[in-house]
Each structure stands twice: as C-alpha cells, then as structure tokens.
A and B are shown apart, each in its own frame.
Chain A
Amino acid sequence: MTLEEIKNRLQSGVPGCQVELVVNGSPSGQNSLLIDRDHGFAAATLLCDQIQLDFCSNVTAVDWPDREKTDKIKTKQTVDGVEKEIERTIKTRIPGYLEVVYHLFSMSKHLGPVVIRMRTGNRSDDVTVPSLTPIWRSAEFQEREAFDLYGVVFEGHPDLRRILMWEGFTDYPMRKDYVPPPDDELEGLREQ
C-alpha cells in the first residue's frame, strides 16, 4: 500500500481530515503524511484498525523555530518619465512550530515505515497535539519524553510528567534556542 493510497483512505475515512504528503529529498525516500492535529486521533485510529499498522516504533518531536525569509523582488517603476528597475527586499517571518513524528509499522503485514507528523500552532502557548498513547501503548514513555525535552503537550495522555529531567525543572532542553543555566556549583567551587 503506497502512501498516496493511505492518504486517500484517510481523507475518505475521516471526514474533514486534512492530509498533506511531505516529500523527503534524501535518498532514503521516506515520505511522510502531515495530518492536522484536530483529526489526528481519528486518523491514527483508522491507521491502526483498518490498515493494521499495529506497531508504533518511534515517537519524537522536532523543533522548528521562527524563521525569516528574505526575497528580492524587482519592480519596474517610472520615475520622471524614465523607466527604472528598483530592487526591493521583502522580509517575511515564518512562524515556528513544534512537530511530532510517529514511525508506524505493521507486524502482521510487514509494512512500513509509514511516517505521520502533526504540528502545533506555535512554540509558546498553543503546543497541544492529541496523544496517541490510547492507541499505541509504546508511545507512552516516548510522548512523555517529547513533553519533557520539547514541551509538546499531549492531550489525553494518561500520565504526562517529566521523564528524564527532574521534577521542578522548567525549561525544555532539546529546543534549538535553549540556553543552559550557568553552572553555579562549579562557579562556587572556583571562587573558593
């Protein structure tokens, strides 16, 4: 079953679900499906039950910070009756987001990997995606890890706590803009 067929199945099986094929430029050729997060849970249920992707191998998050894109646009203008070419640079701000990636396989049909992705609204206050742990238990610790290191909030996760960092830690160390705090303990030792 190709990814295109899976995409069509998702669009017909889950009404209103937006699915986009993300093409991968590397020689691995592992393309993925970008599913909108509002229908993510229903889409994943369909993948598990109907396409028999019974094994969720890898769950992870990727941080895409805000980017600035600069485009140079040449426009022709007539100044004082003389046609001139004027170059303008336009800076567009592409807002960042957090992305969760699931690698799905089928143990019964030896299918895979089928890669699905979901994106959050931004990187600060709209960071929820549906948890797929109720479908695949194997996502339980891995979603906790993505929450711990990236700050993605998985809605519907049975036990969403920090897993590797300690309780009371506030930052998200795998984000691209993370700055580690100064090592006070070592500083103190040096002064002594």
Chain B
Amino acid sequence: MSQVAEDIMEISMGPQHPSTHGVFRMDVRLEGERVLRLKPVFGYLHRNHEKIAENASYLAAIPYTDRLDYLCSMTNNWGYALAVEKLAGLAVPERAEYIRVIVAELTRLQNHAGMVGFLLQDMGASGTPLMYAFTQREKVLDLFEELSGARMMCNYMRFGGVRVDCSPEWLRQTAALVAAFGGFLDEFEQLLTGNEILMARTQGVGVLPQELAINAGVTGPGLRASGVNYDLRKVDRYGIYERFQFRVPLGEHGDVFDRYMMRVLEMRESVKILEQALRDIPSGPVMDPKAKVRGLRPKVGEAYARIESPKGELGFYLISDGTPNPYRYRVRPPSLINLTVLEDMCLGQNIADVVVILGSIDIVMGEVDR
C-alpha cells in the first residue's frame, strides 16, 4: 500500500486475495473507497499451454484442454474436438452428438450453479448459497465420474465422437437429476432472487453498455445480460443444437443483477434442452469408424471452431503442416477477453463492489493464464 497523493491510495488486490478466484491481481487506485483506476495483472498460472500442445500430437492435447477451464472440461474437449473435426473433415455419429449435448448442458448447469454460489459468497453470504449450489454440482460430477472415470478432468471427447458409450442406467440417473433440477432452481431462486440484500448489492452496479460489450468482445451470459442476442448455439448451430427448442434469455440493464439472472434463466433453458436430448437419443456407435484418432495427420490448412462454453465463446484455432503435431494451436479464452472491460465496469464504483463485479464476470484462472 502506498500513499500517492493526499487522498489517493494504490492498493494491490491479490494475488492471494480470497475473492480473486485463483491467483489474480488487480492494481487499484482509490480515492477514499471510489475506484479511479484498475489494472488487472495476470500470468501467475501461465504454463504456455499452447506450446505444450504444439509439441504434442492431436490426440495428446485433449487432456491438456481439461485444465483450461477446470470447471468445464467437457465443453473444452468439445471445442477442441470440433476444431480438429473441421480441420480434418471428420463426421460425428448421431448418438455421440446427443451425448455431447447432454454432457455440455450438464456442465453448464454445474458451472452456473457454482458461479451463483461463488458470487453470493463474494457478497458475504458465506456458506449457504454456495453449499446449496455444490449439492447439485456434486451430483453432476458423480455422473461425469461414472461416465468418464474422472470428476473434473474428464478427457471424454475425441475428434470423431466420444471415448465411451453411456449406459442406459446412466441415462436414467441423468434423467432423474434433470427432473429434480427445476425444483432446486425454484428453491434457489426463492432464497436469492427476491432477496433485498442481493438486489441492493447488484442492481445498477457494474453496468456494461451494449456497444462496449460488443466492441470489447464480451461473450456468453455477460454479453446477453447487456441485451445482445448472440448465443452460438443459435447463431452457429454447431453439433445438433438446431433440433432443440430453447430460448435465449436477455437482460435489459447489463448490471450485476442481470448477469446473475442470466445464469439462473440459462439453467432453466439447459434443463429444457436436456429433457429433449434425453428423450430423443438414438442408439448406435459413438465413434466415427473412419476417424483415425491415433497418429492423425490432417492435410495442410487451418481451421477456427468456436462453441458456446458456459463462460462465453471458446474458440480453437489450428494450423496443420501435415505432420502429427499441430503447427499452431491457439485457444481463444473467454475468461481472459471478458476481463477487458473489468476496469470500465469498476470505475467510479466502491472497492467492495469490485469484488462483486469480478465475481459476476465468472473467470477461471486456468483459462485466463493458460
């Protein structure tokens, strides 16, 4: 802490601050409690993920993608698998497409539930909302463990399909979880949405204008909270998302409360998608028999693929030079790019609100630093 002028303080929040969601630092300049300037500092978790993947084969990069956003390994796998499928022109069997949608929407449920829990934790509601969220998250992780063998580092998808088929019993258990999830959301919302303290702490705080959100490349629920109708599941219709009926919730004010509501409403839409996918899932193979998983050598060229991960647009950019390793492997991390507007949202706010605004962006440092 250093005294710059008479009433202006410079404070370094982090990297071990409990509210920074990992090792993340913010250099904040304050006048009293008001934020005058805020510069995020990254890199504490940097391991040069991209270089590691460029030195590995196409298959060997999949377990590393688990560790990007370590809460959502399934969607990370999908983004990467989609990029390789585009690069090499591989097809995915029907059943695998359905399983992908099911596990991706389950990931969205557990990510959003956890994010709301952590947001409330940042506001000082220590324990209760987070534990409510984590009871549901545990159930999803148990399903992932049964399917892939790991709770968080699933390493489940392959280009050309998924690694193993799911059993009828697993589908029954998933259907039971989905059927009960609406009840949990009702309970969760009864506890939170109308809560006076939550509204006082979030409404009108950290407003993100629509033009800035688009220009700064904010994606995911943070963009839709500012009223921009842009959901890649509707825009790109990757996978088989065009077959499902669901709506894209939109916010009006772009404040923290809207970003909170986006998560709750998206969970309700994910439940709808899951119900339809579980109803329609066909039988059949889960891997393209022609897909050469080991020793894949795509033709010289490049591909960019993106998916709607729970945090925003997760993109993978690959360049092949005809060898078994990608020549260039690039991750477009939604967490990092959504942080571009952190300073704009925090200027003029109180220091206590910075913690809430950061929580509402929903970042994971494994993906920011890579």
CB within 8 Å for A26 and B301 given contacts A110-B235, A163-B42: yes
Q: Mark A167-187, 1 if CB is under 8 A from B, else 0.
A: 000000110000000000000
Convert B12-49 into 0s and 1s, putting 1 for each residue whose CB lies closer than 8 angstroms to a CB of A. 00000000000000000000000000000011001010
In contact, A142 and B337 (Cβ under 8 angstroms): yes
Residues facing B in A79-98 (CB within 8 A) are none
User: Given the interface contacts A57-B217, A57-B306, A164-B42, does A137 sit within 8 Å of B212 by beta carbon?
Assistant: yes
Say if the beta carbon of B70 comes within 8 Å of chain A: no
A25 in complex: contacting residue of B86, B214, B300, B330, CB < 8 Å = B300
Interface size on A, residues (CB 8 A): 34
Complex partner residue of B315 from A26, A57, A140, A164, CB under 8 angstroms: A57
Instruction: Say whether chain B's binding surface is mostly helix, strand, loop, or mixed.
Output: mixed
| B216 at the A interface (CB under 8 A) | yes
Q: A57-B313, A107-B230 are in contact. Are A138 and B304 (CB under 8 A)?
A: no
Whether B215 lies near A136 (C-beta < 8 A) is: yes
Name which residue of chain B comes closest to A28, CB basis. Answer: B303
Structural contact, B87 and A27, CB atoms closer than 8 A = yes
CA separation between A162 and B89, bound complex, in Å? 37
Distance in angstroms from B311 CB to nearest chain A CB is: 14
Q: Bits for A18-59, please: 1 = Cβ < 8 Å to B, else 0.
A: 000000111110100000000000000000000000111110
Q: Mark B80-98, 1 if CB is under 8 A from A, else 0.
A: 0000001111000000000
**A122 interfacial contact with B, CB 8 Å:** no
* Given contact pairs A54-B214, A58-B332, A107-B230, A26 touches B89 in the complex (Cβ within 8 A): yes
Size category of the B interface is 35 or more
Check if A130 is an interface residue, CB within 8 A of chain B: no
The reply to whether A173 and B43 contact each other, CB–CB distance below 8 Å, is no
Verify A28–B87 contact, CB threshold 8 A. Answer: yes
Query: Any chain A CB within 8 A of the CB of B201?
Result: no
Chain A min CB distance to B110 (Å): 26
What are 18 A-B contacts defined by CB distance under 8 Å?
A24-B301, A26-B89, A27-B87, A27-B301, A28-B86, A30-B303, A30-B304, A54-B215, A57-B306, A60-B330, A62-B319, A107-B228, A110-B235, A138-B337, A140-B216, A141-B336, A141-B337, A142-B336
